[in-house]
Structures are given as structure tokens and as C-alpha cells.
Structure 1
């Protein structure tokens, strides 16, 4: 069994894994991910997103610029852009998309509209070109204001960007880094909408789980994660452990002038990272994880090193 290794570069950590890890199914490795990966691109000047309920949209219109500023501080979950996240070792991206009739384009969003999807995916593609042995998981799991035609157009865009690098939907046990490298594959794209049934290059929503604690409370979240870990997960899917606190209206009101980062994420990070340190990978163990502000708490390297303990 290999001990922890700290001399790898985060931008190329997969290529440094022990041989036994390279031959392990990808869904059994510990993989650092980011929650709401593209929220760094939202701005206070952006339109309120269709992911927000009508009463929030009405409230923001009433309060104008001040309302947008509050929403911005509680919508941003990442400071690093996608290129920086990937360079820092993130290999799972949480993708939430809408179609904007105003711009006639696809945008990432979280509370507010963010950057155009196409530009962000170009950054992802550039990273893959520079790091040919790194493998990414793109999870498109929330869609807003999208017709069936819009879905088909987005799938076409993704195929145009990543086509020859995409690992098709195949038997879970066959998807190892070794196999991906042999066939020059670098991307698995999960697309959680029924339209994907006709597009077998993409992985359906049935092949990934991401249980959500939906709490702003650290003890409640840690208890939720403990119960998940004790119960064990199914091995024939990808699984996301969400080290994420969710602010409710009461949380925002009680911390009106603060932000999601200062009120919740900074306080949670040491607890979540400490919780991860003694966990195992492999069958029923830790796999993909998601966290806000991935630079906090030595999160990425702690998770990567779990692979060395197991392999």
C-alpha cells in the first residue's frame, strides 16, 4: 500500500497515481469536485436567474441594485475560474444551465446569470489539450427555460467541443484511467434530462447520485454525511459527497451584510476536510466530492491523497 504523496503537481495529479489506481474503475477513486462550479462568473449586474422562485425575483426587482448585491454575495460559491479550478486539481464540474431569450445563448447560472456556456467550455477544452492524461467529469444536472430543441442544441455544442475525447456510456467497471488513456478519452458528460436517451455518448442521470443535506447547520450536515458513509453507497453509479451548506431565508436575513463564503463556507471547510481524512475510497467509500470555495482547508490534496492510501 502506498503512503500519501505530496510531490505531484495538482494540475496533473491523475497521471501520478499508482498503477493499481489507474486500473481501478473511475467511480471508485476519490475525485475533487466543485459545487456550482461556474458561479464565479455571476455579477451583480446580471439578470436574476430563472432558478430563483418568483417571489425572490419580485423582491430583487423591488430593491433594485441593493437587492442584486445581496443576491450576488449569497450566490457565488467559487472564487476561482474554471481554468484555475482545473489547475488546482478539480476534476468534477457541477453545471447548471439556462437559455437566455435576451442574449439568445446558453448561460451558466446560480441565482444570477453568469457567463456564456460556450466560452467556459473553451477554457475546459484548453486545459484538456495541455494535460492529456487528466480526465474530467462534467455533470449537467439543472436546466432552466430550455425546450427540447434547446437541449439538442446544447448536446450538439458539447459534442462539437469534446467529441473525440468523450467516453461513451458503457459498462461502469470498464471506465478506468488506463482505458481512457489507451483510447485518448478525457471527458465523461452526465446529462440529467430524458432527451439524452437518444444520445448514447452521454451518461444519463440514473448513473450518478448526489444526496443533498439541504441545511445551513454544520452538525446536521456532518450527521447526514456520517449516515451516508455508514450506510454505504451503490458501486454501479458515480456518487457525489456534498460538503455544502445551504442558506435559507433566515440565514440570509440574520447575516444580511455578509456572504455565503464568510457565513457558511469558511466555517464548514475545516470540518468537512477533517471528516474526509480518515475515510476510505473503493467499494462503498468516498468518491467524487463537492465543496464551495475549493481553495479552502487543503480540500483538494486531502482528497487526492485518499487514493494513495487505498491503492
Structure 2
């Protein structure tokens, strides 16, 4: 048990057998909010997910806006090494470049390099499993969804735990490792429904948006 707790880079592979038999949806998995916001640079342009006031503030106090927008200090490789296995992604089609970027109030970086880094980690850590939650999409049209879907399939290919394999309650670390599956992709848009990506209703993430703890705990899940 000491090794399981101390070696965060390989914690899933070192879990006791009885926990590897628990459905992945029932495990407490460390995750990061606005995972890719570490990629926001100084003078990054305002992204379309930002409130209008953010654009105004960014003209006068960009350093403050950047500190607000960056919710993660570690890049994806360091997050993985620290044991993070759930990643919250917000993706925008940036025009006229016609390239996909991560966003959180401000533009982060293009999606290609971090996703390739994730793929490399999975290749060298065959007993680890991650959830890639594509939470929000901005400035997307149906063609953009098709292109992004194809890119995710290209990058992760046979490592994807597909929706057509079984129900989510049947996805365990034991079965995933046995079948060479290491990544579950949740794609929260009706514009991209296929047999490989999971839907919002498969992996609910309720957000009560309350400032009062009493109201928070009475919210339905």
C-alpha cells in the first residue's frame, strides 16, 4: 500500500486487484479543472468563452486577467506524473487560422502538442487510464466537430475505450488493461455522436453553481 500511495505516476497500475474490478465511474479519480490553462501566455488574446467584461479588463490589466484565467500551474506531463487522470477540456476553433486551441477566458495553446504528450505518457505507462472530457466547444460548426473527432481518433486510435464495447458500468481498470484500452473520451456535443465517444448523459458532471453550502448539498445529482 505504501508504493500505491507514493508512486503517483503509476498509481492505477499499483491499485489492489479488488479496486481494479470497480467500475471506473465509481472510482474517486484525481482531476484538474480547466486542465490546459497553464498554456496561457502573456498578452494572450481573449477567447470567446469569456464574459464581455473580461475583454475590457484585459485591455487595462492583462496581468490580472491572466492570473484569473490560469487555473493550473503544471503542464499535462507534470499533471500526469502527479496522478491526475481526469482532464477537463474547453476547445475553440480559432479563425482565420482554422486551428483548434484550448481556452479558458484567454487562448491557451494549440491542442496537438499536449495531446501527443498524453499519448506518449500512455505508451510508457500501459497500466494507467485517463478520462478526456471535452466539456465545451466554441466557434465550432459541424465540419469542425468531424475534423476534431477524426484527430482524436487518429492520435489515440486503439487505446480508446469505445462506447460500443460495453456499458460504462462494465469499464474497469482490469478489463481496460486486459484489452489494451487506456483512454475514455467524453464528447459533450450532439454534433458528434459515434460509437467511440461517450455522451454527456453517460458521464454527468452536475454544476450546482451555488455560494451557499446548504443549497449546494440539496442539489440533485
The question of a shared fold, defined as TM-score above 0.5 by the shorter chain, is answered with yes
* Structure-to-structure mapping, 1:96-245, within 5 angstroms: 96-169=90-163, 170-197=166-193, 199-215=194-210, 217=211, 220=212, 222-223=213-214, 226-227=217-218
Residue 31, structure 1, aligned to residue 29, structure 2: yes
Residue 6, structure 1, aligned to residue 2, structure 2: yes
1:42 aligns with 40
Task: Tell me the distance in 1 between the aligned counterparts of 2:215 and 2:118.
Answer: 32
CA drift of 1:178 comes to 1.0
TM-score by length of 2: 0.92
Task: Tell me the distance in 2 between the aligned counterparts of 1:33 and 1:223.
Answer: 25
CA drift of 1:157 comes to 0.6
Show CA shifts across 1:227-247 (max 9, x none).
Answer: 46xx7x5xxxxxxxxxxxxxx
Task: Tell me the distance in 2 between the aligned counterparts of 1:32 and 1:47.
Answer: 30
Q: Which has the higher helix share?
A: 1
Task: Tell me the distance in 2 between the aligned counterparts of 1:102 and 1:83.
Answer: 30
Q: Work out whether residues 54 and 65 of structure 2, in 8 Å CA contact, stay in contact via their aligned partners in 1.
A: no
CA drift of 1:164 comes to 0.5
Task: Tell me the distance in 2 between the aligned counterparts of 1:225 and 1:130.
Answer: 40
Task: Tell me the distance in 2 between the aligned counterparts of 1:111 and 1:200.
Answer: 32
Task: Tell me the distance in 2 between the aligned counterparts of 1:85 and 1:145.
Answer: 28
- Name the structure, 1 or 2, with higher relative contact order (CA <8 Å, separation 6+): 1
- Contiguous gaps of at least 5 residues in structure 2: none
Q: Work out whether residues 196 and 204 of structure 1, in 8 Å CA contact, stay in contact via their aligned partners in 2.
A: no
Which of 18, 21, 30 is 1:20 aligned to? 18
Measured on the aligned residues, the alpha-carbon RMSD in Å equals 1.7
> Closer, same or farther in 2 for the Cα pair 1:117/1:224, shift >3 Å?
farther
Residue 52, structure 1, aligned to residue 37, structure 2: no
The structure number with the bigger radius of gyration is 1
- Contiguous gaps of at least 5 residues in structure 1: 234-311
TM-score by length of 1: 0.66
> Closer, same or farther in 2 for the Cα pair 1:224/1:77, shift >3 Å?
farther
1:89 aligns with 83
Which of 62, 65, 88 is 1:71 aligned to? 65
SS at match of 2:2: coil
